[in-house]
Amino acid sequence: MCTATLIPLCPPQQARTPTALALGSFDGLHAGHRRVIEAVVNNAPGVPTVVSFWPHPREVLYGEPRLRLDLPTEKTCLLAPLGVEQLVLVPFDRALASLSAETFVKQMLIHTLKAQRIAVGANFRFGRNREGDTTTLQKLAAAAGVEVMVLPILEDTEGRMSSSRIRSALSEGDLQAATTLMGRPYRFRGRVVSGRGLGRKLGWPTANLQVDGRKFLPGLGVYAAWASVKDESEPLAAVMNLGPQPTVDPTSPSAVEVHLLDQQMDLEGCELLVEPLQRLRGQQRFANLEELSTQIGRDADLARSKLKVR
């Protein structure tokens, strides 16, 4: 749930200056990311700021869709407790991509954002064709009297901390591993829209969620989950199906359906905040709707036990 005060989300020209800025994607905000951010929060010589690019450079340069673990609006809530006071999104386009490393530092970081301190991870690259590295950044910033702090890549017993590891865990339905890596539960939100109404006819009414297409979702399957109608409301036990409907319509697109356990609520038009807890099973195709209904009942019982709901 988000109970923190939201920080401003703004373009570079509207940022409060001077800044102490952490520069990077910070998708997933794992422990390695938080260590970089801490470097510009503690005894900051300017407004503690996180600076990221939007959209992801690979989307613009190579046409690769890059789904996010944390959308910008979600980040404003996650960054506030860390002491960050603003999130600056630098619009990434081909014009920006063509800037040399030197021009980017001088125009964006020094002139526009008036950086007094800059923190980055050791693998940070920037500028045209990724020509700049941390040594380049330190040299260019030093010419303007700006301190640059380069934080080493953080590792645990499984290897380096990375957003890719979090995505892999989610793709495999391993919510526990993803939660451990992020240091917080994985969540997503979606607005309830009209569906076919088949779940209600089967005795298992579901809320069909319209989720932002840029949000990274877990692997297909059936999950025990918590769902909140509003961020501040008490989470309700739920079973969630993520994927197509192989029994009803094998050609249907992937969907997110949430059934609130032992609740009868009209949710259409509401926004649900969903926290998947554990993957119960993969997608299956059943011989008929009766078999499907029976299996949903088993899923609901298993979800209750996982969520410790009577």
- pLDDT digit string (tens) for 128-155? 999 999 999 999 999 999 999 999 999 9
pLDDT greater at residue 288 or residue 168: 168
Q: Which residue has the higher pLDDT, 151 or 4?
A: 151
Does the structure show a pLDDT above 80 at 221?
yes
163-168 mean pLDDT: 97
175-178: long-range pairs with CB below 8 Å, 24+: 175/218, 175/223, 175/276, 175/277, 175/278, 175/279, 176/278
What pLDDT score does 244 carry?
77
In the chain, the amino acid numbered 29 is L
* pLDDT score of 33: 97
CA distance 300 to 179: 23
**Residue 116 exposure: Cα atoms within 13 Å on the Cβ side:** 14
Residue 51 has pLDDT above 70, yes or no: yes
Query: Quick one: pLDDT at residue 205?
Result: 87
pLDDT level of residue 197 (50, 70, 90 thresholds): low
More confident residue, 252 or 78: 78
> What average pLDDT does the segment 21-25 reach?
97
294-304 per-position pLDDT tens digit: 899 999 999 99
Hey, what domains does the chain have and what are their CATH numbers? Answer: 9-156 (3.40.50.620), 187-307 (2.40.30.30)
